[in-house]
Amino acid sequence: MRFTKMHGIGNDYVYVNGFEETVERPEELAQVIADRHFGVGGDGLILLLPAEEGVDADCRMRMFNADGSESEMCGNGVRCVCKLAHDRDVVKSNPMKIQTGAGVLTLAYELDDEGKVSEVTVDMGKPILEPTKVPVLPDKMKSTDDKHTFVLDFMDSGELFTATMVSMGNPHATVFVPDVEAIDLERIGPKLENHPAFPNRMNIHFVQHHSSNEVTMRTWERGSGITLACGTGASAVCISGVLTERNEKKILAHLPGGDLTLEWRDDGHLYMTGTATEVFTGEWPL
């Protein structure tokens, strides 16, 4: 099976062109191919596939975390799907419409001097702000004056975390802190991901503001752990900052793997701009 290793500012996945390859049991394949010691290595597996019948889209994306669980969408991943589809002559439409588990997304892209996709702007759609639709269970948390923000506690340690909840088709909790580097993410991340208030688990982001339009963030992704970047998470961070009056509607987000530009425009949609990079191709013995 031919595969391509790609990343969006360090959020790396193994990609398979399903227009040419057949992948059976992707949940199992993701766990072995994404293993960083015994496999290709990555945050998971992403498939480029034909759109489902009746869906107005150029192609389809399915993504699987490193633990084999399937997620709705990945903002950095969908940029790479756009690049793979264009650069492999599967889809040449610009803008390109990609079916995901979070709906059909529209992506506009720019080409480099070799005619390859280099930068992509993704219409991430409208955020879901109703807590029960994120989904979270409000009765498992302490409420605040802000209907989007709750206090989470760990009964074993007594630690408290104030988090703003947003869904970008997948669930995100943003915790604003004075210093993101001071957070013991490896310890705190899995606890928050699996908090009883989160029926579908949760992507966790710790965010430090430098100004009203610039932030630094660190991420714990459900099913993958610490990652270098999260596009849907950066989108949720922008929105959470606006909801809590911390930042403007357009920000520059610094992630461990690179930068993303996020803009919550007047049409209610969040737009994310970032790079998409191909690393190498290879063959996996099925």
Would residue 82 show up in a list of annotated catalytic residues for this protein? no
- List of residues 6+ apart from 140 with CB closer than 8 A: 195, 196, 197
Q: Are strands 96-100 and 59-65 parallel, antiparallel or unpaired?
A: parallel
Cα dist. 195→18, 70, 173, 209, 224 in Å?
35, 19, 11, 25, 16
Question: Considering 59, 80, 82, 230, which one is annotated as catalytic?
Answer: 230
H helices within the chain, ranges in order? 26-33, 75-87, 185-193, 231-243
Which of 59, 74, 80, 238 is labelled catalytic? 74
Residue 59 annotated to the active site: no
Q: What sign results for the dihedral spanned by CA atoms 231, 233, 238, 242? A: positive
CA distance 247 to 250: 8
Single-letter amino acid code for the residue at 244: T
Q: Identify whether 178 is preceded by a cis peptide bond (ω within 30 of 0).
A: no
Backbone φ/ψ region at 212: left (φ over 0), alpha (ψ -120 to 50), beta: alpha
Phi, psi of 185, rounded to the nearest 5 degrees: -65, -35
Catalytic residues: 74, 230
